[in-house]
Amino acid sequence: MAIATTATSATTAATAATATFSIWRGDAQTGQLVDYTTAVGEGMVVLDAVHNIQAEEAPDLACRWNCKAGKCGSCSAEINGVPRLLCMTRLDTLPLDKPVTIEPLKAFPLLKDLITNVNWNYEVKKRIKKFNPRPPDATDGTWRMQQKDVDRVQEFRKCIECFLCQDVCHVLREHHLHDEFIGPRYLVYAASLEMNPLDTEDRLKDLKDNHGIGFCNITKCCTTVCPEDIKITDNAIIPLKERVVDEFYDPLTKLVRLFRPRKK
Amino acid sequence: MTLTQITMKQRGFGQTMRQGAWWSKSLVVLLVLSAFVVYSTWAAFQGVHYRFGPYLSPFYSPEILGDATYSWFGAKPSWLPAWLPFTPALLILWAPGGFRFTCYYYRGAYYKAFWGDPPACAVGEPRKSYRGEHSFPLIMQNIHRFFLYVALLFLIFLAHDAWKALWFTDAAGATSFGIGVGTLVLTMNVILLGSYTLSCHSLRHLVGGRIDQLSAAPVCQKAHQCASSMNRRHGLFAWLSLFWVAFSDIYVRLCSMGIWTDWRII
């Protein structure tokens, strides 16, 4: 671990490892990176350092966090320019010989310091057609599913809604097409519904026309930053793109479907 | 529905807080793909040294028109104008070229490397406007599965070439079984191209991904399982097959030119 070491006392051999963190301070109008130096040690994550800084130097530093276990998705930020969870980024994976930059997510409006307003995501979710199951299989109102049918959509259920994928997606981050594109997180959500064997709803026209699946150009940045290791592009977005092709761009599939209805 | 108003500035080209050589991967992709396009275009226009003994360069397979002795339909038709560039490769390379150009893996790679859309993850882009594959012309990428159908057909031709590369004709005109280094090269070529083609995202969808209840279609489920397993290495197969198909052409070309000697193993 490359940790900058500072002698705390000339009379003792004891040394304290410290590192400098350049943290974004400001709001939607103005702001700047401010350097803070704090003690770091083995096993620490970036969120620990932020907490140290809050305790020692900047009690007004705004930082959203909750579980500190990579499961609540609250502490999303950009560490050295890469969207990551503060609580899951160990300091020993970062070069500490120079300041570690910590900035808020870039795809959403900044509220204060490291906190952004992610409400847009929840509004987007409301636009996606809800789960609409087929009639129950049994008289007690329950359904029967085989595990092998559940496996594929199970991966998508791991999502912790940290919105790192939304943040890194250049369609939202750079081009701000929030009104036309729902982003990787909600393509995963749509895939989890669309591929569910019990679901009877058809979201393909929405995906093509209203949710902007065509804006995704498969750069796989979302997959790269996902802390839950969901194969967003390969297992959710591309299969949805292929289903859209089935429905709108493939005359052969349409011909086959004339003789075989798609969904019961 | 009114969504939260998002008003933020777009960052400049290459602007990022990322450290290290974030540009290196895109640069390598740019150089390798450019080199391949330049070499394959050059090789396609040559029209000579694409056959050596039982070996046929994959850039020229299948040979539909060309060498009167070997091609399917004989020599170049006399009614074709003389000024029109013609080689057997020019008739067929649109198919594998189109398959790679519309491939999901390559799309992601060359959008970054050639268009800077984005140059790398979390890095500023050169242009302000962006339509992606939502509208013309890139909406045409949805044609990928049709190139897949042709690519599957090409695998049969290439496998046949590898088979023919096992049969050598001596000076007396007698044909006998044998294995040369070229045989191994062409066999490896069809294996790698087969791995790349069979790991295609579109194929994965067509063989089973389109079905929600896979348990009701056990054959599709098995096929989807196999395709998914290969699909995880689609990017690796894409690069290996790209290198090898170019190397196969180089091997046959240099043997035909007398620069390399084809070493006979059996």
Has residue B115 been placed in a domain? yes
- Take residue A159 and report the two structure tokens written for it: 């999502």
Could you report the per-residue pLDDT of A140-195, keeping only the tens digit for each? 999 999 998 999 999 999 999 999 999 999 999 999 999 999 999 999 999 999 99
Smallest CA–CA distance, residue A149 to chain B, in Å, is: 6
Query: Of A116, A146, A178, which marks where a domain is finished?
Result: A116
Q: Checking DSSP bridges between strand A100-103 and strand A15-26, what pairing results, if any?
A: parallel
pTM of the model: 0.92
Has residue B17 been placed in a domain? no
Same structural domain, A212 and A162: yes
Kindly tell me if the per-residue pLDDT of B71 is higher than 90: no
- Take residue B249 and report the two structure tokens written for it: 């052409």
CATH number of the domain enclosing A217: 1.10.1060.10
Smallest CA–CA distance, residue B258 to chain A, in Å, is: 43
Has residue A264 been placed in a domain? no
Asked if residues B192 and B226 have their Cβ atoms less than 8 Å apart, the reply is no
Asked if residues B58 and B160 have their Cβ atoms less than 8 Å apart, the reply is no
Q: How many folded domains does chain B comprise?
A: 1
Kindly tell me if the per-residue pLDDT of A261 is higher than 80: no
Same structural domain, A101 and A128: no
- Take residue A64 and report the two structure tokens written for it: 């959203």
Task: Provide the β-strand partners of residue A84.
Answer: A77
Same structural domain, A46 and A173: no
Instruction: Give how far Cα B32 sits from Cα of B40, B49, B93, B125, B257, Å.
Output: 12, 24, 18, 22, 25
Determine the Cα–Cα distance for residues B29 and B239; give it in Å rounded to an integer.
10
Task: Give the mean pLDDT of A115-144.
Answer: 96
Which residues in chain A touch residue B209, judged by CB atoms under 8 angstroms apart?
239, 242
A65: number of Cβ within 10 Å: 17
Q: Which of B160, B147, B144 is nearest to B58 (CA)?
A: B160
Has residue B32 been placed in a domain? yes
Same structural domain, A76 and A178: no
Determine the Cα–Cα distance for residues A26 and A34; give it in Å rounded to an integer.
10
Determine what percent of chain B is predicted with pLDDT higher than 70. Answer: 96
Asked if residues A68 and A43 have their Cβ atoms less than 8 Å apart, the reply is no
Same structural domain, A89 and A161: no
Predicted local confidence at residue B126, as pLDDT: 94
Among all chains, which residue has been given the structure tokens 């180089």? B250
Same structural domain, A31 and A131: no
The parent domain of residue A75 ranges over 2-116
Q: Is B15 on the interface with A (CB under 8 A)?
A: no
Has residue B144 been placed in a domain? yes
Q: Is B131 on the interface with A (CB under 8 A)?
A: yes
CB-nearest partner of B16 from A81, A180, A195: A81
* Helix or strand holding residue A44 (H, E): none
Predicted local confidence at residue A10, as pLDDT: 39
Same structural domain, A9 and A102: yes
Q: Which of A215, A217, A237, A241 to mutate to test the interface with B (most CBs of B within 10 A)?
A: A217
Has residue B89 been placed in a domain? yes
Mean per-residue pLDDT over chain B, rounded: 93
Is residue A34 classed exposed, middle or buried when 0-12, 13-18 and 19+ CB atoms within 10 A define those classes? middle
- Tally DSSP H helices, then E strands, for chain B: 9, 4
CATH number of the domain enclosing A84: 3.10.20.30
Could you report the per-residue pLDDT of A8-67, keeping only the tens digit for each? 333 333 445 999 999 999 988 889 999 999 999 999 999 999 999 999 999 999 999 999
Determine the Cα–Cα distance for residues A256 and A241; give it in Å rounded to an integer.
19
Has residue A138 been placed in a domain? yes
Has residue B128 been placed in a domain? no
Same structural domain, A77 and A174: no
Same structural domain, A99 and A135: no
Same structural domain, A81 and A38: yes
Sign for the pseudo-dihedral over CA of B63, B67, B71, B75: positive
CB-nearest partner of A214 from B111, B133, B231: B133
Same structural domain, A188 and A233: yes
Has residue A169 been placed in a domain? yes
The least confident of A6-10, B21-25, B70-74, B77-81 is A6-10
Could you report the per-residue pLDDT of B92-111, keeping only the tens digit for each? 999 999 999 999 999 999 99
Query: Of A116, A150, A180, which marks where a domain is finished?
Result: A116
CB-nearest partner of A234 from B7, B214, B231: B231
Q: How many folded domains does chain A comprise?
A: 2
Asked if residues B195 and B237 have their Cβ atoms less than 8 Å apart, the reply is yes
Has residue A111 been placed in a domain? yes
Same structural domain, A67 and A143: no
Q: Checking DSSP bridges between strand A76-79 and strand A100-103, what pairing results, if any?
A: antiparallel
Among all chains, which residue has been given the structure tokens 């897949």? B148
Kindly tell me if the per-residue pLDDT of A264 is higher than 90: no
Report which residue type is found at A162: C
Q: Is B138 on the interface with A (CB under 8 A)?
A: yes
The parent domain of residue B228 ranges over 24-71+84-122+136-256
Instruction: Give how far Cα A108 sits from Cα of A29, A65, A175, B7, B171, Å.
Output: 14, 17, 12, 9, 74
Smallest CA–CA distance, residue A213 to chain B, in Å, is: 7
Has residue B117 been placed in a domain? yes
Query: Of A116, A146, A176, which marks where a domain is finished?
Result: A116
**Beta-carbon separation of B214 and A241 below 8 A:** no
Q: Is B104 on the interface with A (CB under 8 A)?
A: yes
**Beta-carbon separation of A179 and B3 below 8 A:** yes
What CA dihedral angle connects A162, A167, A169 and A175, to 10 degrees? 150
Output phi, psi for A92, to 5 deg.
-75, 0
- Take residue B109 and report the two structure tokens written for it: 């790679």
**Beta-carbon separation of B132 and A233 below 8 A:** no
**Beta-carbon separation of A80 and B19 below 8 A:** yes
